[in-house]
Structure 1
């Protein structure tokens, strides 16, 4: 049974999560909201990941609002760099672990999974398979940019929008 005094808990910190929060705050400015994310929780435009290379932008330059600012603006509790270990719908709680090893439970009145999409990871063998990168968030982008340093040739797998934009920007 739902306890309305408990916060709404949102797992994820992408566009879907922050859009939900923004819209919910328009109708209810006071109900507690807790956001849990494995990432830093900063707000950025994900489509910029694929065009930032041409502009030589770092991952930090893509952030339009820090997690701290988002928490203040929308009256949130944000647990960054925190992994959800278990969801217990019967008791309306999640068990989490922060990156410093601290485990704790968060009770909720409603739970939202705003996890976004996972990229397809093609199985590969070979002496350079460890260098294959996927770019789906700011951390991936930062790692990709760093790995590009000093490279003269890059292979892009995938002819979707992001793959095509990377290929164009790196040409």
Structure 2
């Protein structure tokens, strides 16, 4: 896809940029535009009524009452950004350069889609049963705070990253916790079996029960019924079985979507429609580094991508987005970090004993590091991220010695 100019023909600095989505990706796009010298109008539309806030604390500090919120420390007025909250966008008409909202149309010269992702709900209407919660918004977290404070029996559906983080918070609050996972192990969709297997023991160590090969058949008041007939007491049920790009409002717009409803952006984060960009959880992008299209649902992607979008809107120097993906998770007293993309690796090297408190795993392709998972080893992560960026060949024998700095394995 080639760069598109505004249909209005207005010079870059006079164009009107509208950003849909007031999460990390949307806010950082507005900030980056000003930092890179854009002087035109910038409008940020948020569907929620709250001041824009960061999401990671929702599964930790906000839930446990250690923080009232996580609003971004951004002075929108000083930046000259018009902030319109509680305004949900329902459609896009690219031919008219207009968005549809209940309050009326919103014109744009350049549009940035940053609507993030929305949680997947339990099938068959179970997600609408009383006492069933999702954890995506500030309102979700506020509804769950009294559940933890009253130390209910809690059933968590899904042993992915968000399920583990919520189970951690619930145990810290003193709740009895059962985690139900349809797959044979936690993080089944994120990590290979041999890597995720040691993490299964973390649940029991923390006093949480992990039930794998288990599916929810139905939810009754105070009870979760599994497909094998097991009845689990549940004062509350928290569903964490994944998220999908929040792009249903783009139906009929002509913007090309992928198999997961994600916006298919190009290497500059432009969409298939002129004057429209997409950034963050709602989109995917082609990675030259990994030779495939990536869809990254993590905080760092929403932080880094906006700089590329802003650079291409300002238009001084074309920018290409090809990051080393990164994320972290705090669960069961462990700090887990991951950088890169391990799909397509042809060798795996362990550094340390996974039964211990600190260890890491490196994935190689053609002798170069492509991904690293670090548990309690932030130095391995930091050095590994730089090595992935450099593409330097590594000596697997040296790499396997956990006593050696990871960077010393460069061949």
The TM-score, its normalising length taken from structure 2, stands at: 0.36
Match of 2:54 in 1: 45
Match of 2:142 in 1: 142
Contact 2:20-2:45 at 8 Å conserved across structures: yes
Return the offset for 1:53: 5.1
Contact 1:53-1:169 at 8 Å conserved across structures: no
Matched, 1:120 2:120: yes
Match of 2:132 in 1: 132
How many residues align structurally? Answer: 161
- After superposition, the C-alpha distances for 1:99-154 in whole angstroms (9 at most, x for unaligned) are xxxx222110011110111111112567x823211111212212222454535211
Task: Identify if the C-alpha distance between structure 1 residues 116 and 131 changes in structure 2 by more than 3 Å, giving closer, same or farther.
Answer: same
Q: Equivalent residue of 1:167, what SS?
A: helix
Match of 1:107 in 2: 107
Match of 1:35 in 2: 44
Match of 2:27 among 18, 21, 41: 18
Match of 1:100 in 2: none
Return the offset for 1:9: 0.7
Q: Equivalent residue of 2:28, what SS?
A: helix
Task: Identify if the C-alpha distance between structure 1 residues 146 and 93 changes in structure 2 by more than 3 Å, giving closer, same or farther.
Answer: farther
Match of 2:90 in 1: 85
Match of 1:63 in 2: 71
Task: Identify if the C-alpha distance between structure 1 residues 116 and 62 changes in structure 2 by more than 3 Å, giving closer, same or farther.
Answer: same
Match of 2:99 in 1: 94
In structure 2, list runs of 5 or more residues that go unmatched.
1-5, 172-411
Task: Answer 1 or 2: which has greater strand percent.
Answer: 2
Q: Equivalent residue of 2:115, what SS?
A: coil
Contact 2:51-2:85 at 8 Å conserved across structures: no
Structure 2 CA distance, aligned partners of 1:167 and 1:143? 16
Matched, 1:73 2:73: no
Structure 2 CA distance, aligned partners of 1:125 and 1:84? 26
Task: Identify if the C-alpha distance between structure 1 residues 94 and 53 changes in structure 2 by more than 3 Å, giving closer, same or farther.
Answer: closer
Q: Which has the larger radius of gyration?
A: 2
Structure 2 CA distance, aligned partners of 1:154 and 1:18? 34
Task: Identify if the C-alpha distance between structure 1 residues 146 and 16 changes in structure 2 by more than 3 Å, giving closer, same or farther.
Answer: same
Deviates more, 1:149-158 or 1:159-168: 149-158
In structure 1, list runs of 5 or more residues that go unmatched.
98-102
Return the offset for 1:40: 2.6
Structure 1 CA distance, aligned partners of 2:109 and 2:92? 13
Contact 1:53-1:166 at 8 Å conserved across structures: no
Contact 1:10-1:111 at 8 Å conserved across structures: yes
Task: Identify if the C-alpha distance between structure 1 residues 136 and 123 changes in structure 2 by more than 3 Å, giving closer, same or farther.
Answer: same
Task: Identify if the C-alpha distance between structure 1 residues 124 and 153 changes in structure 2 by more than 3 Å, giving closer, same or farther.
Answer: farther
Task: Identify if the C-alpha distance between structure 1 residues 123 and 147 changes in structure 2 by more than 3 Å, giving closer, same or farther.
Answer: farther
Q: Equivalent residue of 2:116, what SS?
A: coil
Q: Quote the RMSD (CA, aligned, Å).
A: 2.4
Moved over 6 A (4+): none
